[in-house]
Structure formats: C-alpha cells, structure tokens
C-alpha cells in the first residue's frame, strides 16, 4: 500500500470481513455491504504421501520465517496479514 501512504491513491475499504490490523482506520467493506467478503490466500503444498516429519519441519520453517519482524513489516506494507495454519489440513472457504 505504498501508493496509499504517499497519497497517490486513496483506499476506500478493506475487502476482508473485519478491519485490517495494519489499517484500523480503513473501513471493512462489510460495514456498508453486509456479508461481502473477498480474501486472497496463498498456500504451501507437498506431494501426497510426504512423511509427517518432513511436513512438520516445513511447518516449523514457515512459522519461523513468518515470525521475523522485518518480513512481517514488509508484508504489512503491502496490506497483507500473515496467518499461518499449523495444520496440514486443507483450509476451507468461509462460504462453506
């Protein structure tokens, strides 16, 4: 969100169901359009049958990486909020 910070663009609302921790003064779109939600996420996958110890080591490595303050700051500058799932289960959408 560097363009918003410099005033080149104006953010109108966050597309998440609640206000962003990074931009708490920015309205969530649900405040004017109840029920609206548009969230992008990225995931890390491994081949079926990957040994549990390998999945565990990968999980630990990603958690450690997302705990680095400089990396979290850089994600926040882009408007992203890092949220790592500790489960190897596939996430489900909020739509059901």
The whole-number pLDDT of residue 65 equals: 85
Residue the block writes with tokens 């040994």: 51
For residue 21, what are the β-bridge partners?
none
Split the chain (96 residues) into runs of 10 and give each run's mean pLDDT.
86 85 87 82 85 90 87 80 63 42
Residue 14: burial class (beta carbons within 10 Å; 0-12, 13-18, 19+): buried
The whole-number pLDDT of residue 88 equals: 52
The whole-number pLDDT of residue 92 equals: 42
Element holding 66 (H helix, E strand): helix 52-66
Instruction: Give this prediction's pTM.
Output: 0.50
């Amino acid at each position: 969100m560097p363009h918003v910070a410099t005033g080149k663009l104006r953010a109108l609302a966050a597309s998440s169901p609640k206000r962003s921790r990074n931009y708490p003064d920015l309205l969530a779109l649900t405040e004017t359009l109840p029920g609206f939600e548009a969230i992008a996420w990225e995931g890390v996958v491994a081949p079926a049958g990957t040994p549990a110890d390998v999945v565990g080591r990968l999980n630990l490595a990603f958690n450690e990486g997302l705990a680095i303050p400089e990396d979290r700051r850089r994600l926040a500058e882009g408007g992203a909020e890092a949220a790592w799932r500790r489960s190897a289960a596939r996430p489900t959408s909020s739509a059901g």
